[in-house]
Amino acid sequence: MLGGNRGACGPHGGVQPKPGMDHDFEEGYKRHLGWHRQNGDSWSWNGWTIISGDATGYFVDGTFFHAWSDLDSPVSPAADGADNAVTWFRMQKFDP
């Protein structure tokens, strides 16, 4: 356990915006976080951009200090994925 009563689980991920779409990517991410708030997600989400090293330009987001059991009840996974697809997924770069 980290931090007393805080859990040790922290789902996170990293993606890279498509070239020239940094602003749209950021705004899409904000809209997607709005979806989370509107759908009762009580988790705090953090996001940052890596500015040096091999992963420069990648955007990382995550939510931290959860108990493992918190992952058993995510907020509407199918609806979350659908909103993600229209708000910021299309602005993400995927390398082959």
pTM of the predicted model, to two decimals? 0.81
Over 50: is that where the pLDDT of 1 sits?
no
CA distance 23 to 25: 5
Over 80: is that where the pLDDT of 84 sits?
yes
Over 90: is that where the pLDDT of 82 sits?
yes
Over 60: is that where the pLDDT of 78 sits?
yes
For 59-71, the pLDDT digits (tens) are 999 999 998 898 8
Query: Beta strand pairing status for 59-62 and 46-49?
Result: antiparallel
